[in-house]
Structure 1
């Protein structure tokens, strides 16, 4: 067992059902030599080979030092993507991953684009199942002596497939939930940063209520910076709005707003920011930020303005 309680195997085999007799003899011979083998019949399921997809979670949770695909005409003929696993293993074989020990069954001719000439493999016709077991036993013991760690089968599958998947907005993404996350983040960041200004001669107070964060910075008894961040407001309930100078009764305008969205290219939530003057822009420039990036830009702008009062 691994430290986290997962079963570790020396070998895991994959094959087409047409060659079960040969494979099972080899597996039993390996087991007699003390090797731990991940084999479907021992799991009381017909999940590996023809019906892998049904039990892929069980396969993916297992770790093994070597994966042994018994490649045959039947193995290669399995429909894709119904047997993605076989396709992935063949890709790993092509890439020369030392984790894979291919055994060619009968006279199967593996296309050169799947099995590169420099990759070492064994042919079943040259070995009885017991002789093959002896070869596998020697390889495992060599790996143990070299300190080779077992790998998770699913990890190798993912590396081998290496397929581009569509970038989409996650079904669980909510701009309103993200708005609350950003609002809370800004409140926490300002409360953390506020005490850092006092040694520099500025007193910063942060007031948080459910729909507003108010930041006030004083210097020598005078308010030198005032920022209010509203969750919702006139620009829409899916936006943060920013107002400067709202401590003055005659100033209640909007100096910028930010709307959460999911950036499919970057695969992370971001904010689409329209800046009227909050960050120093004039005329309403549109930019994109992460919540961390927007806070940092805002803090830099605050510091620039505070330095004018020293």
Structure 2
């Protein structure tokens, strides 16, 4: 197996840079080759850093180290990095991803298998954590083999049947808050990408409601209002009104309710969508993860914008 350029490739949200940067320096002091974004500032100057990072996380490191926090889970760039690494993990093995939890954030089961072991940053100083990484890399080098195949790891983990039931501390209201926050944050992070297309986008969040407006030359071409509760459907659901113009949003034409999916062994939202938009190839009846739900709503927006541009 050819030697890779990096022993470790770290991924993190900016809020955790102080801890991560010290850890990286401690790792380098132990002789580890570590990919750290700021080391590439000059080399990648003028290039697509996202494309370059995807290449690193998918093929150039022995281990991928995500420092997972609430900010990490809610930002598009760290999640893009994680997705690139997951493609390698599926082919190479569970051992490729060495997760470190930075806070008490709950990692969704659809993001990281619940049987994957992780370390908590609160239990280690950067120097201590660096020694843990050095030990892991040393074992891998000594064995001369890549991490275990993912199929065998999962097979052994699931050899004993476990009940597919909601966790005892799972709350539909907490999940509703998480889905609402995720949807608002992803739209806010994503809509600036439409400006080069001549579209001006604004998002506003006020309490239990957030809105998205897309304009072209001062005319509203897409409007979305999302609320917790409303429409007489109960306070355990998200409701939304979607249309072309803001003054047309008089009623609710969609709602979603958090549930525990026993087949996925994870939380999902059951979506009921009455708006007259082309539905994507998603099985809404089986429930959507938070990311799938956001992508579904984002595609509805893009469909509407494209229709008004014909």
Larger fraction in helix: 2
Per the normalisation by structure 1, the TM-score is: 0.46
Per the normalisation by structure 2, the TM-score is: 0.46
